[in-house]
Structure 1
């Protein structure tokens, strides 16, 4: 099982493979995962930026075969279906999905480019560039 150090990096990889390239199947759907009864209890007013219980664990535990990781050339954090599976009402304003480490780059031998969410320290672009990966913020 491939181990990621940074959950948000892994989630960005899942976005690319599951929702963008449609290679990691089946695509996860939070409504199906919860079922109709539990989905009705996910309230936007009470939980605008809260992760749905169990969804984060599902993605953390998801094994991604190396042959799929080998196909990731770009990570683009602009609109992500994966984020809205974890936190259905996320408004894009928080930093809960910021990538904070480049350590997992070693898992993606063909990674060439990353487009990142803004980080307050503005350090991640430089860290990716230092590893020879084209990088910029949204």
Structure 2
């Protein structure tokens, strides 16, 4: 469970956060400060997990209704920027960020379209179909 209680799966929350990065969300300044603090001093490493401080921030982050209303489109793709903010050396070759549930998408009242490239099994997206949201494979 995402610690804010909005989404069942933290990895799905990451996809929603990704969708908001270019929409001036309320959390952008704080996230940018964290990126600058930890990524600028980041030394490439291998085998370590996500940057703990950034992960904790994102886990605790409560997405405001105004920001959730901005989400009209989601993209399930291993190349999403949010993954490289969390783990700069992530190569997409493991299931670290795989989505197992989209429960909570009901909070995205303006969601119309989902692009599916990777990051979950197609059956995970079934609730979108049932809600009439277009899925592009």
TM above 0.5, yes or no, is yes
Give 1:90 deviation, angstroms.
0.8
Q: TM-score, normalised by structure 2?
A: 0.78
The answer to whether the aligner puts 1:60 opposite 2:59 as a matched pair is: yes
Residues 86 and 35 from structure 1, CA distance in 2 versus in 1: closer, same or farther, beyond 3 angstroms? closer
Question: Which of 21, 25, 34 pairs up with 2:38?
Answer: 34
Residues 87 and 35 from structure 1, CA distance in 2 versus in 1: closer, same or farther, beyond 3 angstroms? closer
State the Cα RMSD in Å. 2.4
The answer to whether the aligner puts 1:123 opposite 2:126 as a matched pair is: no
Residues 46 and 2 from structure 1, CA distance in 2 versus in 1: closer, same or farther, beyond 3 angstroms? closer
Give 1:124 deviation, angstroms.
1.7
Q: TM-score, normalised by structure 1?
A: 0.77
Give 1:63 deviation, angstroms.
2.1
4+ residue runs over 4 A deviation: none
Please name the residue that 2:102 is paired with. 102
What is the rounded CA distance, in whole Å, between the counterparts of 1:58 and 1:136 in structure 2?
A: 31
SS in 1 for 2:135: strand
Structure 1 unmatched ranges of 5 or more? none
Does structure 1 retain, via aligned residues, the 8 Å contact 2:46–2:89? no
After superposition, where does 1:68-79 map in structure 2 within 5 Å?
A: 68-78=67-77, 79=79
